[in-house]
């Protein structure tokens, strides 16, 4: 079953985020704070949303997303930050169900596109998205500012 996350799901979402960081070999970058996550998902000004994949009452996967905007189309877009299903629960169609629910949500909300990033080495994820006819944007380079560089950029 796919459903919208509730505040009571925060511990499970955090558990899945930790598992995702481990899978992506990025645990050293993890600075997860459940109270901040709660505020950003369910607070006064939510910054993101989550769909939950549930099997027999147990949270087994999630998709965290937020809206962006296309100036060229003058329409919103949807950015998929994370899609993850517990390894033991893979092969049951949960990832597909999450992705399809998200695509439907984007369409229903009038979004002109849905975008995400995939680590180059993650062949299972690349294969998964190819099955939906998703295409990599080879001509675009993703840039990122974090930490001290972000702070310095704001002072120039």
Query: Longest Cα pair distance anywhere in the chain, in angstroms?
Result: 53
Considering 23, 69, 79, 129, which one is annotated as catalytic?
A: 129
Which of 5, 12, 8, 114 is CA-nearest to residue 50? 5
Secondary structure, 3-state, 11-52: HHHHHHHHHHHHHCCCHHHCCCCHHHHHHHHHCCCCCCEEEE
Residue 129 among the catalytic residues:
yes
Residues noted as catalytic? 129
């Amino acid at each position: 079953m796919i459903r919208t996350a509730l505040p009571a799901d925060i511990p499970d979402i955090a558990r899945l985020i930790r598992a995702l960081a481990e899978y992506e070999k990025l645990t050293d970058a993890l600075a997860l704070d459940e109270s901040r996550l709660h505020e950003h998902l369910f607070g006064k000004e939510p910054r993101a949303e989550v769909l939950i994949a549930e099997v027999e009452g147990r949270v087994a996967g999630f998709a965290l997303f937020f809206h962006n905007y296309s100036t060229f189309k003058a329409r919103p877009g949807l950015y998929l930050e994370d899609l993850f299903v517990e390894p033991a629960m893979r092969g049951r169609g949960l990832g597909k169900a999450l992705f399809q629910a998200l695509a439907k949500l984007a369409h229903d909300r009038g979004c002109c596109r849905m975008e995400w990033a995939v680590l180059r080495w993650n062949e299972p994820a690349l294969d998964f998205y190819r099955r939906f006819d998703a295409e990599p944007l080879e001509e675009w380079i993703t840039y990122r500012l974090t930490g001290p560089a972000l702070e310095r950029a704001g002072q120039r």
